[in-house]
Amino acid sequence: MGDKKITMETIQTYVRLDNEIHMMEIKNIRKSLKMKEDQLKDVQQTESQLKTHYKECQDKTKKEKADVDDLTGKGGQIQASLGKAKFDQQMSKEQAEYLEALNKEELAKKDLEGITKQIQDIQAEIKNLTPEVEKLDKLVAEQEELLSSIFKGDYGSQKENELESKMDMLVEKRNRVGVAKYKWTNGKVLLQHAVNQLAYAVKKWDELGKLDKSDTKTMYTMATEARNNLSAAIQNLQNTQKYLSNIQFPYCKEDEIKTLQKATANVYIDMMTTDRHKHALNCFSVTHKRSYALLQWFDSVLTSVIEKDFRSASDEERECSKQLRIERLRLMKESVEKDGGTCNLDASKSFTRHLSQERDLIKTTQLLT
C-alpha cells in the first residue's frame, strides 16, 4: 500500500490530525479571514472618501463663518443701506447657512471617526485570525504528508478517492453557507443597534418639540442628542447593506437613507419652527418603523433559510467526513494486520467522540454569535 509501515501510532496521529483539522474548519476561519481582508479594503476606500468629504465640509464651514463675520463687521454700513428689517433677514440667512455647514462638518467628523474605529476593529480581527489559518494550513500539510507516505502518493482505494472529492465539495458548500450566516448574523446585530438608535432619536426629537422656544440651550442639547443617534443609525444601516451588498432589502433602501441624511443635517434649522419639526419627526419615525420591519425580515430569513441551509450542509459534511475516516482507518487497519500486527481502534467510536467535541464547539460558537 505504501512505503511507510503503518503502526498504531501512525493511525493515532492520523486521527488526531483529522480531529484538529475538522474542529478548526467548523469555525470557517479561512473564508472569515478572506472576507475580513476584502472588507478592510472596502472600508479603507470609504475612509479615503470620508476624509475628502470632511475636508470639503471644513472649507464650507470656514466660508460660511467668514460671510457671517463679514456681515457683522459691516453691520452698521449695510444696515444703513438696506434698513434694519432687510439686514436682520440677511443676517438670519447667513447664520442659518453657517449653522447648517457646521452641523454637516460635525456629522462628517463623526462618520470619519466611526469608520476609523471600524478599520481598527477589522484589523484586530485579521490579526487574531491569521495565526489560526496558519496553524490550520500547517495541520493540513502534515496530514497530507502522512497520507502520502501511507498510500504512496496515491489513493488507498477508489472509494477513498470518491469520498475525498465529495468531502472537498461539501466543505466548500458548508463554508459558503457559513459565510452567509456570518454576514446575516452580524448584519442583524448592526441593524438592531440602528433600530435602538432611531427609537432614541425619535423620543428626543419628540420631547424637543414640547419645549419652550426660548429655552434654546436645552433645545440645542436635545437636537444634538437626536442628531448623534441618527448619525450612528445611518452608519449602522449603511454597514448592514455593505455586509450583504448583493441583497436587495425590502426597507431602508439607499434613497431612504439619503432622505434621512438630509433631515439629520438640518436638525438645528428644523427645530426652530413647528411645521419643520413635525415634518422631520415624521421622517425619523417612519424610518424607525421601517428599520424595525427590516429587522423582523432579517429574523425570518435567518430562521427559515440561512440556519436551515447551514444545518443541512453541516450534516452532509459530517456524514461524509465519517465515511471518509472509516474508509481510511479500514485501509490502515488492513495494512497493520497484513504486516502481522493488531489494530483494535474502532473507527465509529473514534468518530463518535469527535462528533461530541464538534457539537460542543458549535454550541459555544452559537453563544458567541
User: For residue range 174-193, what is the model confidence (pLDDT) as tens digits?
Assistant: 989 998 999 999 999 999 99
Q: Which residues have a Cβ under 8 Å from the Cβ of 327 and sit 6 or more positions away? A: 156, 157, 159, 160, 163
Binned at pLDDT 50, 70 and 90, residue 358 comes out as low
pLDDT at 368 over 60: no
What pLDDT, on the 0 to 100 scale, is given for residue 92?
Answer: 83
Gap between the Cα atoms of 233 and 295, Å rounded: 13
Domain-embedded: residue 1: no
CA-to-CA separations, 64 to 71, 76, 104, in angstroms, rounded: 11, 20, 12
Q: What percent of the chain has pLDDT over 70?
A: 89
Of 71-80, 148-157, 237-246, which has the strongest mean pLDDT? 237-246
Predicted confidence (pLDDT) per residue in 89-126, tens digit: 788 888 888 988 999 999 999 999 999 999 999 999 99
What total number of domains does the chain contain?
1
The verdict on residue 48 lying in a domain is yes
In a domain, 2, yes or no: no
> Does residue 3 lie in a domain region?
no
367 pLDDT higher than 50? no
Q: What is the mean pLDDT of residues 142-171?
A: 88
Domain enclosing residue 92, as ranges: 8-368
Indicate if the pLDDT at residue 155 is higher than 80.
no
Categorize the per-residue pLDDT at 356 as very low, low, confident or very high, splitting at 50, 70 and 90: low
| pLDDT, average across residues 299-322 | 94
Share of the chain above pLDDT 90, in %: 61
